[in-house]
Chain A
Amino acid sequence: MDVVGIRKWTFGLSALLFLASIVTLAIPPALTPGIDFSGGAAFTMTFADVLDPALVEKTLSDIGHPESIVQPSVEADGAYGKSYFIRVGELAPTLRDTNGNIETPGGRENVESALNALSPATVTGFDTVSGIIAGENVRNAAIAVVVAAFAILIYVTWAFRRVPSPFRYGTSAIIALIHDTVIVLGLFSILGKVVDFEVNAMFITGVLTIIGYSVNDTIVVFDRVRENIARFPTLTITEIVNLSVHETIARSLNTSITLLIVVVALMLFAATSIQPLLYVLVAGVVVGTYSSIFIATFTLVAWENGEIRNVASRIPIIGPKRAV
């Protein structure tokens, strides 16, 4: 089978997903920030009864928290459980006297007493993040992503320093990486808009991890391309890439399957605090595997065959310059 021959289709599909991602990311909020990035408070509460999430949200809205997000736990049979994740904005502080007794109840006490009135509740988790920390988290996350992108670019160029055109390999890997990152962010942008999926520090951790995974996967395929070029000097780049993809596809799929097995196992059983990480990893492994086979290598083929220049020459602004 000529896998390289289907590149028009995969480029088309990727271009479509990429554009859709850019569009959804361009519509604010690009991603729905969790308390790590916006500040605020989050409760994990266990109620005596199963409650309607809409009722909980209305109750919170009535006491001045229209911004609240209520996510019930889900039991194995699909019904709501008694444990709820409740997210509100920043809460007014509780004022206490020197003995630690409450003088003026703060936002936290208000929320707890209002919800206790619905059904007796136990608070099993309570997080607060101030605006100062949230701002720093946003800045640190941005720095981490930028530093990671540069570090990976440098590394990939270095790793392929012995091939005839290291820059093309490096750039192709980076294109695949940007492709993966943007599409995954786009997916979670949509999830944020549709189901209030919130982005926290663990989400950023997941994004950085898939950046690493995407490059890892691409390197394995390129490593084989590099080796096959040396072994079969008479073959064209298209043939080399076809051969290399065939040789590595079982490994790529098997590795993705084992990663998906462990991540999905965690996703089905583990607690909410790392769920964003796991969702990103699942999306990232799928997109990363696809791109290392169909985007990174095909970009390389298209580039080596001069197709990129051909396409560019048809674009009016770039075209005439090239023609001259």
Chain B
Amino acid sequence: MIILVGGSFAALAVKNIDLGGFERGSSDPLGLSLGLDLVGGIHLVYQAGEEGFEPTADQMSGLVDNITRRVNKLGVAEPSIQQMGSDRLVIQLPGLENEEQAKSLIGQTALLEIVRRVCTAYPCNDTAPENFTDHLTGLTGADMSSAFAGTSTVTSEPILLFELNRGAASQFADLTTDLFNTNIAGGTPDQLAFSMDGEVLVSAVVSSPILAGSGQINGNFNPEEVRQLAIQVESGRLPIEITELSSDFVAASLGADSLDQALEAGLIGLALVLLFIIAYYRLAGLVAAVALVFYTAMVLAIFKLLPVTLTLAGLAGFILSLGMAVDANILIFERMKEEIRIGRSLPFAVQIGFNRAWTSIRDGNVSTLIIAAILFFFGSSGANSSVTGFAVALTIGVLLSMFTAIVISKKMLALAVGTPLRKWPRAFSPEGYKGGSAAERGA
């Protein structure tokens, strides 16, 4: 019993932390994280390469890096760029308003350029990138034949190895000779860099002219850094075109409207349901109503703590689960009502009501959970965040509704039975209406 009471209060305590700005919190209402359809933004699905093209894992990871770099230029607060399956990308940009600009930026083909970084002021090193002015050399990713991670045969440190096409080797030899000469002549040490879409990936001082078209870059890399660098250079050497498969844009104003409407609908729905069960089940209904308020707080707290990103469909799933949470209570109260009718004492009727209703509650809810699981996979397979959001919210809601009914409602009813109220068993059931309810007329 202490555990049960503790359960109720723990739920409330979580709720308090919830409102007080828990670390999971956000600026959205109650600190919940909201989906694109409620805050506005764009959801994009892209196919890498032509139909039938099978990109390697490294190619996809290079592509993700390139797009991440471009998306970062958009200044979106929390962009998400994820690989889906073997050849697709799902991009979510919350709060984005200029979707045309985003699409054209994301859709560009990656451009890897070999850049000469001219030093214009001291110090000429990585601590002061503003001292360099970049000059295009005319050499691009298309002039390279490969880039890969390796290990220095001399020092055993991880290095980036690259090779140029035969046709570009002599131009590269001239470039590196020139860079080497500026260096040893006591002039400013210019650097050689690989830049992707105008952003420097790696730059290095030329320690000797590269005449045969194959070079290496070292620089205290760890093996993982070199591997990532090789993937990025490769992604610029053989850029993969991406094709838009679907896009879903919601302006922030529309998202805000949807959120207001859904909250309003949720509150009105909850209020009407509470009124209905109190009117029909009286004191027991009041207990269920309090349990439902706890339930709402607990579900929202779980959404926040996991966290679950709440979409409009997710809200619908939650509100639907609210209706189902009432069902568990109704099953129990109907059962109690029957037990009271056949003359059992109130405490015994409460006990039996809960015990007998449990199999129905469990068996009935399992079917909903099976469906929610199938919906989850249906939604995930098509990157449909609305469907998965609905499924997740419904699952959490149904699981918690069983808990609320059999733990919280039961505990509170047991407490009520312990008070002088037990002298009026009719206050606990619609039996009090003399021949009034639909159930009565039926019987």
Please list the residues of chain A having a beta carbon within 8 angstroms of any beta carbon in chain B: 1, 36, 44, 96, 98, 100, 122-130, 132-133, 136-137, 140-141, 143-144, 147-148, 151-152, 155-156, 159, 201-202, 204-205, 208-209, 211-213, 215-217, 219-220, 223-224, 227, 246-251, 253-255, 257-259, 261-266, 268-271, 273-274, 277-278, 281
* Min distance, Cβ A122 to any Cβ of chain B, angstroms: 8
- Pair A271/B367 contact, Cβ less than 8 Å: no
The B interface is mostly helix, strand or loop, or mixed, namely helix
* Min distance, Cβ A57 to any Cβ of chain B, angstroms: 22
- Pair A208/B316 contact, Cβ less than 8 Å: no
**Contacts beyond the supplied A126-B248, A258-B276: 14 A-B pairs with Cβ under 8 Å:** A140-B378, A144-B378, A208-B378, A216-B364, A219-B364, A261-B276, A263-B319, A264-B269, A266-B316, A266-B319, A269-B268, A270-B265, A273-B386, A278-B316
- Pair B387/A133 contact, Cβ less than 8 Å: no
- Pair B334/A251 contact, Cβ less than 8 Å: yes
Q: Point out which of A143, A144, A202, A271 has the most chain B C-beta atoms below 10 A from its C-beta.
A: A271
- Chain B stretch 252-275: residues in CB contact (< 8 A) with chain A: 253-254, 257-258, 261-262, 264-266, 268-270, 272-273
With A126-B247, A127-B248 as known contacts, state yes or no: A259 contacts B324, CB within 8 Å. yes
- Pair B386/A201 contact, Cβ less than 8 Å: yes
- Pair B384/A124 contact, Cβ less than 8 Å: no
- Chain B stretch 222-277: residues in CB contact (< 8 A) with chain A: 243-251, 253-254, 257-258, 261-262, 264-266, 268-270, 272-273, 276-277
- Pair B372/A223 contact, Cβ less than 8 Å: no
Inter-chain residue pair count (beta carbon < 8 A): 235
- Pair B371/A212 contact, Cβ less than 8 Å: yes
Stretch of B97-105, B127-135, B137-145 with 4 or more beta carbons under 8 angstroms from chain A: B97-105
Chain B residue contacts of A137, Cβ below 8 A: 382, 384
Q: Point out which of B37, B245, B273, B374 has the most chain A C-beta atoms below 10 A from its C-beta.
A: B374
- Pair A208/B247 contact, Cβ less than 8 Å: no
In the bound complex, CA of A247 to CA of B37 (Å): 43
- Verify if B390 is at the interface (C-beta below 8 Å from A): yes
Chain A residue contacts of B381, Cβ below 8 A: 136, 140
- Pair B322/A254 contact, Cβ less than 8 Å: no
In the bound complex, CA of A132 to CA of B438 (Å): 53
- Pair B363/A223 contact, Cβ less than 8 Å: yes
- Verify if B108 is at the interface (C-beta below 8 Å from A): yes
Chain B residue contacts of A143, Cβ below 8 A: 378
- Verify if B327 is at the interface (C-beta below 8 Å from A): yes
From B245, B249, B268, B370, give the contact of A148 (CB < 8 A): B370
- Verify if B326 is at the interface (C-beta below 8 Å from A): yes
* Min distance, Cβ A129 to any Cβ of chain B, angstroms: 5
- Pair B371/A133 contact, Cβ less than 8 Å: no
Chain B residue contacts of A125, Cβ below 8 A: 249-251, 254
Shortest Cβ distance from B377 into A: residue: A144
In the bound complex, CA of A274 to CA of B261 (Å): 12
- Verify if B320 is at the interface (C-beta below 8 Å from A): yes
* Min distance, Cβ A101 to any Cβ of chain B, angstroms: 8
- Pair A250/B334 contact, Cβ less than 8 Å: yes
- Chain B stretch 355-384: residues in CB contact (< 8 A) with chain A: 356, 359-360, 363-368, 370-372, 374-375, 377-379, 381-382, 384
Chain A residue contacts of B268, Cβ below 8 A: 265, 269
- Chain B stretch 391-442: residues in CB contact (< 8 A) with chain A: 391, 394, 430, 437-439, 442
- Pair B262/A270 contact, Cβ less than 8 Å: yes
- Pair A270/B257 contact, Cβ less than 8 Å: no
In the bound complex, CA of A215 to CA of B363 (Å): 10
With A140-B381, A251-B331 as known contacts, state yes or no: A205 contacts B313, CB within 8 Å. yes
- Pair B323/A269 contact, Cβ less than 8 Å: no
- Pair B437/A262 contact, Cβ less than 8 Å: no
In the bound complex, CA of A273 to CA of B363 (Å): 32
- Verify if B203 is at the interface (C-beta below 8 Å from A): no
Chain B residue contacts of A219, Cβ below 8 A: 360, 363-364, 367
Chain A residue contacts of B276, Cβ below 8 A: 254, 257-258, 261
Q: Mind listing 5 A-B residue pairs with CB under 8 Å?
A: A148-B370, A209-B320, A219-B364, A259-B324, A265-B266
* Min distance, Cβ A210 to any Cβ of chain B, angstroms: 9
* Min distance, Cβ B250 to any Cβ of chain A, angstroms: 5
Contact with A along B44-58 (1 / 0, CB 8 A): 010100010000000
The list of the 6 closest CB pairs from A to B, nearest first, reads: A250-B439, A212-B371, A265-B269, A100-B104, A269-B265, A262-B269
In the bound complex, CA of A154 to CA of B111 (Å): 55
From B251, B338, B356, B371, give the contact of A211 (CB < 8 A): B371
With A126-B247, A219-B364, A274-B316 as known contacts, state yes or no: A251 contacts B261, CB within 8 Å. no
- Verify if B280 is at the interface (C-beta below 8 Å from A): yes
From B246, B322, B368, B374, give the contact of A128 (CB < 8 A): B246
From A144, A205, A271, give the contact of B312 (CB < 8 A): A271
With A155-B367, A209-B394, A262-B269 as known contacts, state yes or no: A255 contacts B251, CB within 8 Å. no
From A98, A130, A258, give the contact of B245 (CB < 8 A): A130
- Pair A246/B442 contact, Cβ less than 8 Å: yes
* Min distance, Cβ A244 to any Cβ of chain B, angstroms: 12
With A148-B374, A255-B327 as known contacts, state yes or no: A266 contacts B247, CB within 8 Å. no
Shortest Cβ distance from B259 into A: residue: A271
- Chain B stretch 313-368: residues in CB contact (< 8 A) with chain A: 313, 315-316, 319-320, 322-324, 326-327, 330-331, 334, 338, 356, 359-360, 363-368
- Pair A262/B273 contact, Cβ less than 8 Å: yes
Chain B residue contacts of A152, Cβ below 8 A: 367, 370-371
Chain B residue contacts of A248, Cβ below 8 A: 334
In the bound complex, CA of A151 to CA of B378 (Å): 14
In the bound complex, CA of A249 to CA of B248 (Å): 44
- Verify if B77 is at the interface (C-beta below 8 Å from A): no
Chain A residue contacts of B273, Cβ below 8 A: 258, 261-262
Chain A residue contacts of B442, Cβ below 8 A: 1, 246, 249-250
- Verify if B443 is at the interface (C-beta below 8 Å from A): yes
* Min distance, Cβ B49 to any Cβ of chain A, angstroms: 13
In the bound complex, CA of A144 to CA of B384 (Å): 14
Chain A residue contacts of B437, Cβ below 8 A: 250
With A155-B370, A249-B442, A261-B323 as known contacts, state yes or no: A270 contacts B386, CB within 8 Å. no
- Pair A259/B320 contact, Cβ less than 8 Å: yes
* Min distance, Cβ B220 to any Cβ of chain A, angstroms: 36
In the bound complex, CA of A254 to CA of B386 (Å): 29
In the bound complex, CA of A132 to CA of B248 (Å): 16
In the bound complex, CA of A205 to CA of B327 (Å): 21
In the bound complex, CA of A268 to CA of B258 (Å): 12
In the bound complex, CA of A129 to CA of B323 (Å): 33
Chain A residue contacts of B319, Cβ below 8 A: 262-263, 265-266
